[in-house]
A and B are shown apart, each in its own frame.
Chain A
Amino acid sequence: MATKKSKKSDDAPDSERPVKKSSDKKKTSDSKKSTGDKPTKAAGGGGKSGQPKTPIVDDGPEEELRLGPLGNKVMTIAGGIGVVGTGAAVGLGAMEGQWAHFFHSYLVAFFWVLTIGLGALWFVTLQHLTRSEWSPVVRRIAEVLGANIPLLAVMALVVVGPLLMGNHDLYKWADPAEVKHSLLLQKKSPYLNTTFFAARFVFYFGVWFIFSRLFLKRSVEQDSTGKPELTNNLWAVSAPGMILFALTVTFCSIDFVMSLAPEWFSTMFGVYVFAGCVVSFYSTMGLIVLWLQKNGRLSKSITVHHRHDIGKMMFAFVVFWAYIAFSQFMLIWYADIPEETVWFKPRLGEWLPVSAALLFLHFVVPFLGLLSKHVKRHRFGLGFWAVWLLVIHYVDLYWLIMPNFSPGKVPFSLMDICAWVGLAGLFLASSARTAMNLNLRPTRDPRLDKSLAFENI
């Protein structure tokens, strides 16, 4: 152990945790005594079926576990904004008569909410897969965000529907005239055709729906029955789930975004979009945690230690994003093959300021900003960088999608903002609707004790 001591230091870090004070702790130990220490064992060696079936009693701190009237409020406001925003975007698109611009704006906004939802689904899968002990108190938030898959599927219909009806404003591989002139598109047509595209869309969202539904349903079921087998069951489900998730996210990003430039390809594209999923999801979860706590929900069970971990993951995936983005760029830059560099040509031409902004505002600045542990543990610091990353994640998607529509100039307009705010509002309202009738954290998860007592330093 380290040996430097100072008389000045006080008990400040202790007082950060009002939860773990002696009275609560005593309750825990008492209840453990009465059940013969079984809860801990069940939590520790969850894998075996012969484990004791004693329901784990939630003896966590007393606090508001439900959204209550707040849920209705969020649903009304966010839903209103969502309907107005989406309507305004459609209206502006109709007024302009430029449906191609509208579809691209919409795709950016749609991918912004989709990546958050998929990030949430990934998070839940990962926590079950690793049997994580720190995260049960924040897992329900991710389960709720991930349960938006039906809404996201409906949103995707705005992209898939017109495509099936013969519109090719977004995807030029759907245009027979274009395909006729391009040998490459003819060769790719067994994959890039509208029927198969629609079939894949159904498959992706089907897989996500099944898993997100399963994770939320079983977790909620455990709140009432307290069966530890449910946790073990989800652990088993999460392994194939993770494999399917990796494949579906990769191919979904290839289909919806990469095929906007159908002659171009990058084997890193799926991972790039995945990095964005994780960054935006952790930022969203951080913001939701801060907002819930400000409104007196989960104010005791989620501590500075959990928020610190969320901040760490934001930081880690900012670096991961930069690593992937740079790897993709450097390989193409170094090889300098025209069919690969063509994608970067507009992005390093008229779009160069946006590319430079991504380098600095999606990596350098947040890297330095999130480096310190004091920032991650500070409410305002965490919230500030969460908002920052969510905004720059939008810019990132805009940079992926828009140059395909307008290589010559950045066509940022009111319509983009309307679509973004609109879909975000709908996403939030749908999340609030799901969360309204649920506890905001699991109450009888076998690893809840450890999560409540989690300490980082």
Chain B
Amino acid sequence: MSEKKQTKPASKEAPLYGLLAEYEKPKQLLAAAKKVRDAGFEQWDTYTPFPVHGIDPAMGIKPTILPWLVLGAGLTGATTALVLQWWTNAHDYAWIVSGKPFWSLPANIPVTFELTVLFSAITTLVGMLMLNKLPHPSSPLDFSERFARVTDDRFFVVIEARDPKFDEGDTKALLESTGAVAVEAVPEDTKTEGRMPSVLVYAIVILTCAAIVPFALSAYAREAKNRSPRIHIVPDMDNQQKFKSQRENDFFADNRAMREPVAGTVARGLLRTDEHLYEGKAGGTWARTFPPAIKADAATMQRGRTAFGINCVPCHGPTGQGNGLVNKRATELAEGTWVPPTNVTQPHLAKQPVGQLYGSIKNGIRNMPGYGHQMSSEDIWATVMYLRALQRGQNATLEDVPAAQRAGMK
């Protein structure tokens, strides 16, 4: 169907399209197809009212490559989904979702599965149509009255004239020898216009233009500025019937949406009745001992050192003498309001009860803010223990050094 004539009145001189052979039974068609196949024709086909088993080998049709296309598409879909999810969530914009790892394979499986199926399904449909050269809107055979019965109860073989082995006489003889009920010469289609109907052309152009509109609007919206409120496409999703935290609510007497816990409620882990451990006091005065829950061992000391490094060193400095980086910087900038941090190793602080040191860290003192909201009681006590060690170290005398090492100190 490479070249078709433009509209012309039908004439008997229309060139030959091919030869049409009609059969009554599928079995006859199969036998005929084998003969035509063995004769070495390339441009021919069979037409049946229903799928005839065995027609593919009878016609010598190779197995389709469609499964391989679908396999490739499925693997492409799986890879695309995995790379997309890795790139967006773990690489380009790492974001913790539900406390899972950035690249969390189980969470990625549903999308991977869907894309695999989607790519495979689309490839199956489109590939099937393309390999079959469909859609195929018009054929010269449509004008043969005999051929109309192909949708009912007759079977046909058509050998096209463009086949290199085609010879009107010989091919006709071949088809007749296959037991055809009738053999008919089919002329080329001279009635149908060789171009697409204008209705279809317009429809395609209009649909294409319409399809661009959403993208154009999106592109415009990215650049344009507008003072009017945003458009709510799904209003009940944007404005939900619920009260958010810290908002007003007329329903309750106190007009607050958030409710107070029931009187006497204690959240899990917040029942702090141990005054010594949580307040640093014993019988209303600062405790002079560490609470029993805090063990005086290397582990607590290490924990105190870590907590001291995180919370205290920036201002008080690594040895607690008040020369931390924040202080150095503030002094350098000559900030007028800057109060230098205390040297926490001063002798009078070394004599303070541990409970008072605990209280100072927890609640803050003078310019120093309290750390109780960000350090656990255990961490504060460990810090106090480490602080005691610093104080001892800074106020040490020669007698504190083990006798064996004193010689080297002088």
Task: For A330, give its contact among B47, B60, B107 (CB under 8 Å).
Answer: B107
Within A293-338, which residues are at the interface with B (CB < 8 Å)? 323, 326, 329-330, 333-334, 336
Residue B110, interface by CB 8 Å:
yes
B57 lies within 8 A of A11 (CB): yes
Residue A69, interface by CB 8 Å:
no
Within A431-457, which residues are at the interface with B (CB < 8 Å)? 455, 457
Nearest chain A CB to B132 CB, angstrom units: 6
A333 lies within 8 A of B106 (CB): yes
Which of B47, B53, B106, B109 has the largest count of A CB atoms less than 10 A from its CB?
A: B53
A13 lies within 8 A of B57 (CB): yes
Nearest chain B CB to A451 CB, angstrom units: 14
Nearest chain A CB to B120 CB, angstrom units: 12
B107 lies within 8 A of A334 (CB): yes
Residue B228, interface by CB 8 Å:
no
Within B88-147, which residues are at the interface with A (CB < 8 Å)? 98-100, 106-107, 109-110, 113, 131-133
Q: Mark B50-72, 1 if CB is under 8 A from A, else 0.
A: 00011111111110100100010
A7 lies within 8 A of B38 (CB): yes
Chain A minimum-CB-distance residue to B34? A11
B109 lies within 8 A of A330 (CB): yes
Chain B minimum-CB-distance residue to A371? B71
The verdict on A1 contacting B45 (CB below 8 Å), with A9-B60, A14-B54 known, is: yes
Residue A2, interface by CB 8 Å:
yes
Roughly how many angstroms separate A25 CA and B100 CA in the complex, as a whole number?
A: 64
Within A4-37, which residues are at the interface with B (CB < 8 Å)? 4-14, 25
Within A73-128, which residues are at the interface with B (CB < 8 Å)? none
B57 lies within 8 A of A10 (CB): yes
Contacts of B61 in A (CB 8 A): 1-6, 9
Contacts of B40 in A (CB 8 A): 7
Contacts of B98 in A (CB 8 A): 334, 336
A7 lies within 8 A of B37 (CB): yes
Roughly how many angstroms separate A25 CA and B25 CA in the complex, as a whole number?
A: 13
Contacts of B64 in A (CB 8 A): 2
Roughly how many angstroms separate A334 CA and B104 CA in the complex, as a whole number?
A: 10
Nearest chain B CB to A363 CB, angstrom units: 12
A1 lies within 8 A of B60 (CB): no
Residue B42, interface by CB 8 Å:
yes
Contacts of B178 in A (CB 8 A): none
Residue B46, interface by CB 8 Å:
yes
Number of interface residues of A (CB under 8 A): 26
A5 lies within 8 A of B59 (CB): yes
Task: For A7, give its contact among B27, B45, B60 (CB under 8 Å).
Answer: B60
The DSSP consensus for interface residues of chain A is: loop
A3 lies within 8 A of B60 (CB): no
Interface size class on chain B is: 35 or more
The verdict on A2 contacting B53 (CB below 8 Å), with A7-B38, A330-B107 known, is: no
Contacts of B57 in A (CB 8 A): 9-14
Contacts of A3 in B (CB 8 A): 43, 45, 61, 133
Roughly how many angstroms separate A10 CA and B107 CA in the complex, as a whole number?
A: 50
Q: Mark B13-57, 1 if CB is under 8 A from A, else 0.
A: 000000000000001000000100110111101110000011111
Contacts of A4 in B (CB 8 A): 61-62
The verdict on A6 contacting B62 (CB below 8 Å), with A326-B109, A333-B106 known, is: yes
Nearest chain B CB to A210 CB, angstrom units: 39
Roughly how many angstroms separate A3 CA and B107 CA in the complex, as a whole number?
A: 45
Within A333-382, which residues are at the interface with B (CB < 8 Å)? 333-334, 336, 371, 373
Chain A minimum-CB-distance residue to B40? A7
B38 lies within 8 A of A2 (CB): no
Chain A minimum-CB-distance residue to B58? A11
Which of B34, B57, B132 has the largest count of A CB atoms less than 10 A from its CB?
A: B57
Roughly how many angstroms separate A371 CA and B57 CA in the complex, as a whole number?
A: 23
Chain B minimum-CB-distance residue to A326? B109
Contacts of B106 in A (CB 8 A): 326, 329-330, 333-334
A6 lies within 8 A of B53 (CB): no
Contacts of A330 in B (CB 8 A): 106-107, 109-110
Roughly how many angstroms separate A182 CA and B27 CA in the complex, as a whole number?
A: 74
Task: For A9, give its contact among B43, B62, B107, B113 (CB under 8 Å).
Answer: B62
Nearest chain A CB to B262 CB, angstrom units: 22
A13 lies within 8 A of B46 (CB): no
Roughly how many angstroms separate A229 CA and B58 CA in the complex, as a whole number?
A: 40
Nearest chain A CB to B232 CB, angstrom units: 30
Roughly how many angstroms separate A6 CA and B71 CA in the complex, as a whole number?
A: 24
Q: Mark A145-171, 1 if CB is under 8 A from B, else 0.
A: 000000000000000000000000000
Chain B minimum-CB-distance residue to A8? B60
The verdict on A6 contacting B60 (CB below 8 Å), with A13-B54, A334-B106 known, is: yes
Roughly how many angstroms separate A92 CA and B403 CA in the complex, as a whole number?
A: 72
Chain B minimum-CB-distance residue to A2? B61
Nearest chain B CB to A82 CB, angstrom units: 41
Contacts of A2 in B (CB 8 A): 56, 61, 64, 131-132
| Besides A1-B55, A2-B132, 13 other A-B contacts (C-beta < 8 A) | A2-B56, A3-B61, A5-B59, A5-B60, A6-B60, A9-B62, A13-B54, A13-B56, A323-B113, A330-B107, A330-B109, A334-B100, A336-B98
- What are 30 of the A-B contact pairs (CB < 8 Å)? A1-B45, A1-B46, A1-B47, A1-B55, A1-B59, A1-B132, A2-B131, A2-B132, A3-B45, A5-B42, A5-B59, A5-B61, A6-B61, A9-B37, A9-B60, A10-B57, A11-B57, A12-B57, A13-B56, A13-B57, A14-B57, A25-B27, A326-B106, A330-B107, A330-B110, A333-B106, A334-B98, A455-B53, A455-B54, A457-B56
Report which B residues bind A (CB closer than 8 A).
27, 34, 37-38, 40-43, 45-47, 53-62, 64, 67, 71, 98-100, 106-107, 109-110, 113, 131-133
